[in-house]
Amino acid sequence: MGLAAGPVGASSIASDTTQTPTVSPPLRLADFEPRSMLQVPETHLDRPRYPVIDAHTHLSWGARSEAGIFLSSERTFLSNPEELLPVMDRCGIRTMVNFTGGYGPGLADCIARYDRAHPGRFLTMTEPLYERFTDPNYPRLQAEAIEQAHRSGACALKILKTLGLYLREGITTGPLVKIDDPRFDPMWDTCGQLGMPVAIHVSDPIAFFAPIDRYNERYEELAHHPDWSFHGRDFPSHDQLLAARDRVIARHPRTRFILLHVGNFAENLAHVSATLDRFPNTTVDIAARIGELGRQPRAARAFFDRYQDRILFGTDATPHGYEFPQQLFNERLYQIYYRFLETDDEYFDYAPANVPPQGRWRIYGICLTDAILKKVYNANAARELGVTL
């Protein structure tokens, strides 16, 4: 038999008849791409049950930026309507809302290229004029810029995480400016007076505030994008950032705020629920957070049931955003969102990628009712953004 001495049992019989597979450890984490052996139904949805308003996309970007801050009005266009519209039609997307439209002539360019050229299919948001932040008249200039953007046709104001994490007293240098700095009060008030909502991104996933080490559940993502880490240095904590945001919301009850990325705390839906309960002038979107929602499907389903009038569909879709598979604008991205919202499928990828890009886990569908789907897909965004369906 050729067996070495050892206990006689099942394992030694097995090794008698088969070759023990050779494994050459260590396997690098980056090379590990396990395929699920689970055999469960898979639903393929090309189209949503109701037309979609994707209330969170990026179709243009600031042409010039430094230290995370756009410093000119000029825009770089990430796509054009001729490229986008066929995909939108195939995926049942009625309207895409471009968040990063800028201000001044760049904003006017965006609106001419998208909104005016294809009425009903595109909406554009304006952004703050940070390049003028050191001007003593900044609060007034900023309020006037909002009025001008409104006249140009911008549907809302978008705040990137620039505020709180990048903008400094000297714009790119000096201490960080706080989200609730009173110099922005005229901006928030003007939005309220004009009926323009504020779509606000504050902070980031909480793992981005933790050390990039073996315990960090988003280790691979942070290893790819170390500049996304806000651990240490002079950054405020996640809690401090959200608290500053909440003081702004409390001070401006007549301004409506869309709290992006599930209120920037999808890891803690109880906290997001408390925020929505406390501030009637708020809604949330789900952009780039189905990875979080879908790994807690029972809590997510209860959240959608309870806040069905205050949740907007959004993806963070970015044409040619190959660096971020969870945001790459294409059919596969939308199919995943529809599957998550409409089916009870089990354990599937939240992004079209070989390795889940935001953390190594999979998600479960939450099978929303028709009535809730309709609100989330279009009615809530239409109401907030003034779209006639």
Which residue ranges make up the site for Zn ion (CB under 5 A)? 316
**Least distance in angstroms from the C-beta of 319 to Zn ion:** 13
**Least distance in angstroms from the C-beta of 162 to Zn ion:** 12
Q: In which region does residue 174 sit, left (phi positive, over 0), alpha (psi from -120 to 50) or beta (all else)? A: left
Rounded to whole angstroms, how far apart are CA atoms 312 and 384? 9
**Least distance in angstroms from the C-beta of 262 to Zn ion:** 13
Closest CA to 366 of 314, 287, 300, 303: 300
Matching residue, tokens 């994707």: 54
**Least distance in angstroms from the C-beta of 158 to Zn ion:** 8
Tokens of 31: 């090379």
Residue closer to Zn ion, measured from CB, 45 or 258: 258
Tokens of 174: 């000096």
Rounded to whole angstroms, how far apart are CA atoms 149 and 131? 16
Residue closer to Zn ion, measured from CB, 316 or 345: 316
Residue closer to Zn ion, measured from CB, 59 or 382: 59
Residue closer to Zn ion, measured from CB, 127 or 220: 127
Residue closer to Zn ion, measured from CB, 289 or 375: 289
Name the residue number minimizing CB distance to Zn ion. 316
For 81, the enclosing helix (H) or strand (E) is: helix 81-90
Contact call for residues 74 and 131 (beta carbons, < 8 A): no
Rounded to whole angstroms, how far apart are CA atoms 182 and 197? 19
**Least distance in angstroms from the C-beta of 234 to Zn ion:** 24
Residue closer to Zn ion, measured from CB, 199 or 376: 199
CA distances from 150 to 105, 145, 197 (A): 13, 9, 11
**Least distance in angstroms from the C-beta of 51 to Zn ion:** 22
**Least distance in angstroms from the C-beta of 123 to Zn ion:** 15
Residue closer to Zn ion, measured from CB, 60 or 343: 60
For 96, the enclosing helix (H) or strand (E) is: strand 93-98
b vs e for 265-282, b when ≥16 Cβ sit within 10 Å of the residue's Cβ? bbbbbeebbebbeebeeb
Rounded to whole angstroms, how far apart are CA atoms 205 and 11? 46
